[in-house]
Amino acid sequence: MKKAFLILEDGTVFEGKSIGVDKEIISEIVFNTSMTGYLEVLTDPSYAGQAVTMTYPLIGNYGICYKDMESKKGWPDGFIVRELARVPSNFRSEDTVQHFLEKNDIPGISGIDTRALTKILREKGTMNGMITTNENYNLDEIIPKLKEYTVTGVVKKVSCDKIEKYVPGDIGSESVAADKDVAVIDVGTKKNIIRCLLNRGCNVTVYPCDFDADEVIASKPDGIMITNGPGDPAECVDIIAQVKKLADSNIPVFAICLGHQLMALAHNAKTYKMKYGHRGANHPVKNLETGKVYISSQNHGYVVDADGIDASVAKPWFVNVNDGTIEGLEYIGKPVKTVQFHPEANAGPKDSEMLFDEFMKMIGGNK
């Protein structure tokens, strides 16, 4: 295998072997602590503009099952692993990670010390990096380019480009009777958000990120879902203005991850970039109403600033047990609830999927 190098903006260089396509990329380097679910990570639109480091040392051992994809393609700029399994063992496996990366034009690097890399990112914070197979790289030329790189325009990149409609039985959902209509605002949605709604008896209409709130409201949905997605939420100025209209419509709204951040910004709260974010399947979140703690799947680098929340506008619903950051908000006098984590998460955990049942109660659904 060809040599590959991961170069960080602080000048650290890791040498390994090239995986995926042989292509040089500059990206934001992040890490995910999940032990399973690498295909779901690779097909999560929230990773657009980032290169993902998997902290679990062996990736690819159960292969690729295309039914488990969370969207139509792979989204990360790059993939970084300690060891890549070349011969998967799983009765559901249809392909290898290597072939998947090649088909989706994703470069990567294996054979590096991902624990050491993760420690650097935890101590110094998320930073930009380059994956390259050029053995004659020049740090003096590369590092200024790394420091200049910013993630922009990724929501438009991952969103659908036209309205899409789904009914129960589609995309692997249960064929149940539908008695509610839900509008989904796609700022980077995963299939399982749609599937969770279909399984609960909803017809789903998915709108692209450049949606017109008046058009959505005029369609008279029973509820509105705003999805997860990538990038800096504060960049989405036009979307935020439309989200405010949805919030003021008196139609029940439930928002996840980026949708949660956009709703907060629409109500004059602030967001900020975290040191290294929350990315993994083991983050404990506490419901402040019940005191119950749930293990959640998360993927975000930005968070709503707790100090900027007007108590007359919204109140904290969930908080992160590890660092106390806001994980959910309930809006005062409005049928609007939002969470930072992923209640629909595949490969799991499923602890908080009951929040979809909570949403069904908000819209008067059958479950």
Active site residues: 257, 342, 344
Please indicate if the annotation marks 223 as binding a ligand.
no
Please indicate if the annotation marks 46 as binding a ligand.
yes
Please indicate if the annotation marks 229 as binding a ligand.
yes
**What are the C-alpha distances in Å from 270 to residues 236, 262, 312, 325, 326?**
13, 10, 16, 13, 12
Among 337, 264, 342, 274, smallest CA distance to 303 is for: 274
**What are the C-alpha distances in Å from 24 to residues 120, 132, 348?**
22, 5, 32
Residue spans of beta strands (DSSP E) within 180-230: 180-185, 202-207, 223-226
Please indicate if the annotation marks 291 as binding a ligand.
no
Cα separation, 284 vs 267, in Å, equals 26
Please indicate if the annotation marks 272 as binding a ligand.
no
Please indicate if the annotation marks 276 as binding a ligand.
no
Cα separation, 363 vs 224, in Å, equals 9
C-alpha torsion sign, points 185, 186, 188, 193: positive
**What are the C-alpha distances in Å from 294 to residues 46, 288, 349, 352, 354?**
22, 11, 9, 6, 11
Q: Assess contact for 14 and 113: CB atoms under 8 A.
A: yes
Q: Which residues of 254-280 are buried (b: 16+ CB within 10 A; e: fewer)?
A: bbbbbbbbbbbbbbebebeeeebbbbb
Please indicate if the annotation marks 301 as binding a ligand.
yes
Please indicate if the annotation marks 32 as binding a ligand.
no
Pair of tokens at residue 124:
């110094």
Binding site residues for L-glutamine, as ranges? Answer: 46, 229, 231, 258, 261, 299, 301-302
Binding site residues, as ranges? Answer: 46, 229, 231, 258, 261, 299, 301-302
